[in-house]
């Protein structure tokens, strides 16, 4: 970060320690400047939910003075931005773990339209053009996959998400597919980013995978994910 002139806020920094299955969970910390950063065994979705609920509470207090459009902008800036921040780290989590974040988004959609808490949310998400949380995680993951396929992703991403390069020229070489990991990894670690990203990518329509630039890819991908995920039962909770 020093080499790239980036600043880190030690006071807002946490460290997650992920041991191998046979390892013990160690209690250790590191120093960043004058700040001691402790390790945690889990990433806390509850903290994100708590922050979002705080913003929703405050927006709800001033909702009578806001237009629908102004409320939408405010919610997108203060709530959805938190739901989306680094959400590709949540890839592979089961639906029950993501549910608190989906409930936050549902509450945000109802707040925009000033509707009671039990209002059906799928039409609201459709009208707002908001992907459900699970699809937003998938969207971010596939954007990383696109960048890896084009060689513009960070090195650590390109080492685990690689274009498919057949040993001999094949018609499929122009289809923009990604190389799947070894079968033993797919079976034993099916929730890994290195497993899910190529799988999701290779299931995309050809027109999405072969988009000529990132802007076009994002537009086509969002349209595709809306068709797949907006009718998901999780979006209607």
The structural domain count of the chain equals 3
Query: Over the stretch 22-41, which tens digit does the pLDDT of each residue have?
Result: 666 666 778 887 888 877 76
- Same domain? For 153 and 187 the reply is yes
237 falls within a domain: no
- Same domain? For 78 and 22 the reply is no
Query: Over the stretch 126-163, which tens digit does the pLDDT of each residue have?
Result: 999 999 999 999 999 999 999 988 888 888 888 888 88
- pLDDT category at 6 given cuts 50, 70, 90 is confident
- Same domain? For 56 and 128 the reply is yes
Examine the pLDDT at 237 and tell me if it is beyond 50.
Answer: no
- Same domain? For 156 and 126 the reply is no
Query: Over the stretch 166-220, which tens digit does the pLDDT of each residue have?
Result: 656 655 555 678 888 776 655 556 678 888 999 999 999 999 999 999 999 999 9
CB atoms near residue 137 (< 10 Å): 23
How confident is the model at residue 153, as a pLDDT?
A: 85
Average pLDDT over residues 14-26: 70
- Same domain? For 67 and 112 the reply is yes
Contacts of 191 (CB under 8 A, 6+ apart): 91, 92, 93
The closest alpha carbon to 136, from 236, 201, 229, belongs to 229
1 falls within a domain: no
4 falls within a domain: no
What are φ and ψ of residue 36, in 5° steps? -95, 120
- The helix, strand and coil proportions of the chain, stated in percent and rounded to the nearest 5, come to 55, 5, 35
225 falls within a domain: yes
Report the DSSP pairing between strands 29-32 and 35-40: antiparallel
CB 133 within 8 A of CB 83: yes
Contacts of 47 (CB under 8 A, 6+ apart): none
How confident is the model at residue 216, as a pLDDT?
A: 96
The closest alpha carbon to 34, from 13, 50, 49, belongs to 13
How confident is the model at residue 171, as a pLDDT?
A: 56
- Same domain? For 36 and 50 the reply is no
81 falls within a domain: yes
Please give the residue range of the domain that contains residue 190: 138-166+176-229
How confident is the model at residue 144, as a pLDDT?
A: 92
State the pTM of this model: 0.78
234 falls within a domain: no
- Same domain? For 131 and 184 the reply is no
């Amino acid at each position: 970060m020093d080499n790239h002139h980036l600043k880190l806020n030690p006071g807002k920094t946490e460290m997650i320690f992920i041991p191998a299955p046979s390892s013990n969970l160690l209690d250790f910390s590191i120093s960043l400047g004058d700040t001691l950063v402790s390790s945690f065994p889990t990433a806390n979705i509850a903290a994100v939910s708590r922050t979002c609920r705080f913003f929703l509470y405050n927006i709800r207090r001033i909702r009578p003075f806001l237009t629908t459009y102004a409320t939408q902008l405010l919610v997108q800036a203060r709530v959805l931005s938190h739901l989306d921040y680094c959400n590709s780290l949540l890839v592979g989590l089961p639906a029950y773990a993501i549910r608190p974040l989906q409930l936050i988004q549902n509450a945000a959609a109802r707040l925009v339209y000033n509707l009671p808490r039990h209002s059906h949310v799928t039409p609201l998400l459709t009208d707002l053009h908001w992907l459900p949380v699970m699809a937003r995680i998938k969207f971010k993951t596939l954007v990383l996959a696109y960048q890896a396929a084009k060689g513009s992703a960070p090195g650590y991403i390109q080492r685990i998400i690689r274009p498919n390069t057949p040993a001999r020229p094949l018609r499929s070489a122009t289809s923009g597919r990604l190389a799947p990991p070894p079968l033993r990894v797919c079976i034993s670690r099916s929730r890994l980013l290195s497993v899910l990203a190529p799988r999701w990518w290779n299931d995309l329509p050809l027109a999405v995978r072969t988009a000529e630039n990132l802007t076009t890819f994002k537009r086509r991908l969002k349209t595709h994910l809306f068709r797949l995920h907006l009718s998901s039962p999780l979006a209607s909770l």
